[in-house]
Chains A and B, each alone.
Chain A
Amino acid sequence: MHFMRNKIASALVCLFIFVTPCYAEEIDAQKLLEQVDDNLWANTKFITGRLIIDNGRKVRTLVQDSWMEGVDRSYSHYKAPSREKGTKMLKIAGKLWMYTPRTDRKILIAGHLLRQSMMGSDLSYEDMMEDHKLSHSYSATFESFEEFAGIGCAILHLVARDKETTYQTRKVWVSPKNQTVLKEERFAKSGKLLKRIVFKDYEKIGSRLFPRTMVFRDMLKENTKTTYKFDVIEFDVEIPQKYFSQGILKR
């Protein structure tokens, strides 16, 4: 009997020592990240979305149409509320132009201005513009498994390849089954948590699974969150070239 118990205990120890790492090794973090990128990425995208900004005292909802092409070009047109109606943003490479109908002027938001909060949200212009492939900018390593929102996720630890990347480390909760990101945390160089993004309401759109809702939280602020809801998403759409020219930035 004693012998049997020892055998079971040894088997369990072996299971923990060998089997778990074997399972972990099955996760190729970098490959999984590439699969995540492939799922989310398309040459062109059209989105009609709502940006719900909750600063703890007041909730504002911005409605926008966005057209995106590759990593470099995007154009957004704000349709509501009336205060922001007609505001346009054009991103070409590292530059962002903003047009406001009130002033009937376009301004270049470049350099340090990109780090300011966008329209009082938890996102900076830089965050909003960020549209690079994570697998290109970061090296991923598998950290552990964790259940998030009832889904088994692999937690990947991402370290920036480049010293100039805004967030030097990130953590992403990825479902290996669907290759979808469910949660992301962005950290300062020191390791302090700065932003948390939760991806919700995944839906199959064409051949891709795409989150209908993204909730951004600035973890250094209290009681604030910005929810980005995508009402219409279309991939690989044809975008007129005039949308990516400065000529569009007028009334």
Chain B
Amino acid sequence: MNWDIANKNFYRQGLRAFLNVLVTALSIIALIFMLSLLNGFQAQATRNLVTTDVGGGHYRVPGFDILTPTEWEDFTMTVPQVLGNLPATDKAEVLVQQGQLYPNRRLFPVQLRGIEMGQSLLALPLAGLKSYDVKPGDMIPAVVGVKMAHKAHLKKGDTVVLKWRDKGGAVDARDILIVDVGDIINPRVDDGVIWLRLDHLRSMTDREREVSWVAVREFLGTVPGFEFHGIDLLMSDLLALLRQDRINSKILWGILMVLVCTSVFNTQILNIFKRQKEIGTLMALGMEPGRLVKIFTLEGVLAALWALVLAGVLGVPFFIWFQGVGFDVSHLSEASFPIRETIYPDYQPREILISVSIVLVLMVAAAWVPVKKIIRLDPTLALRGRAIT
């Protein structure tokens, strides 16, 4: 009975009801889109970092900090047996040192990163280095990423002077040959990085069997002399950024919800103002105020439900279309985000359900707050249209 009356009243509102439903539906779509895009961004950035750099975590030399290049040379250690014995699919030994490149006889500080050639834990375009001997010859083969090649004006086949220090501090320099310009999807291991064979870098710097870290597939327990850095720690800057982004998106969503709730609130206020004679009549005929509140609140619930339906009708095709085209974020790689390609939203059913439920609850609340005053209305004043002024 309540439902039927509410239903009739809702449809009678016409355009006003439709606009409410439309605004709410668009808010729901925007909310889901925003959250899913952030999920997609995070998932893609994590995947890129994991496959190109992080793996399942690093066993690092204590004190090593990738953001302090002047100290890289001080933090190298011999690979412990427990890590050295792991199969090539489960670990990648990495040695990082400082170097100076002289493209076109201009100084360009670089990170020299040596990685095992046999490893298959990380996906890096370093096939060009595999055919070389274990001992470096007069010309040291190297691979650079597209971004690095662009910045240093390098191309495949170029030779350029590289200067570095060995373990004792003696300076050394030799020509390096750019054997390949690789498409590296993570700008953090592209920009300013010269990729070398690990055996070559060790030989160049007199650091036999030494590493800066060993990337592993999974945590293997405590390894004496090394400290484990998990994915979360290695990605902490990115995760902090995403956390901030989520906070920002929540603020945006909050503003959107305030607008939606204000719209519903206004509609309800207008409803009871315009329909106070109807309310007075129903009260005079014996309808309890509580039931009237229920009927008016149900109208708000109906608006929320229709908004949900409309969000489905408009949103699902949009989401399907967007999943196909994606969102081009190539500009982000300039800011060293580990994302260089198009990102696609990652829809999480649980997250969508929770978000939609919050929208519905807020809508119902926004519909109920203005109508609860019906309980206190004087039917005689309401009949004359003077209960609410």
Measured CB to CB, the residues of A under 8 A from B are 111-113, 115, 117, 160, 163-168, 188-190, 192, 194, 220-222
Contacts and interface: CB of A to CB of B under 8 A. Distances in A.
Contacts of B104: 222
Given A112-B71, A220-B163, A166 B169 contact: yes
Contacts, number: 55
Interface in B153-171: 161, 163, 165-166, 168-171
DSSP majority for the A interface? loop
B163 A167 contact: no
Interface residues of B, number: 21
Contact of B171 (A111, A117, A163, A189): A189
Nearest to B105: A222
B85 interface: no
Contacts of B73: 112
17 contacts: A112-B70, A164-B168, A164-B169, A165-B170, A167-B170, A167-B171, A188-B173, A189-B166, A189-B171, A189-B172, A192-B161, A194-B173, A220-B161, A220-B163, A220-B173, A221-B102, A221-B105
A111 B68 CA distance: 13
B106 interface: yes
A115 B164 CA distance: 11
A220 B171 contact: no
**Residue from B74, B102, B173 with most neighbouring chain A CB atoms (10 Å):** B173
DSSP majority for the B interface? mixed
Nearest to B206: A163
A241 B304 CA distance: 85
Nearest to B72: A112
A112 B161 contact: no
B332 interface: no
A194 B170 CA distance: 12
A221 B174 contact: no
A188 B163 contact: yes
B98 interface: yes
B170 A166 contact: yes
Contacts of A167: 170-171
B314 interface: no
B297 to A, nearest CB: 66
B71 to A, nearest CB: 7
Nearest to A124: B171
Given A113-B70, A115-B165, A220 B170 contact: no
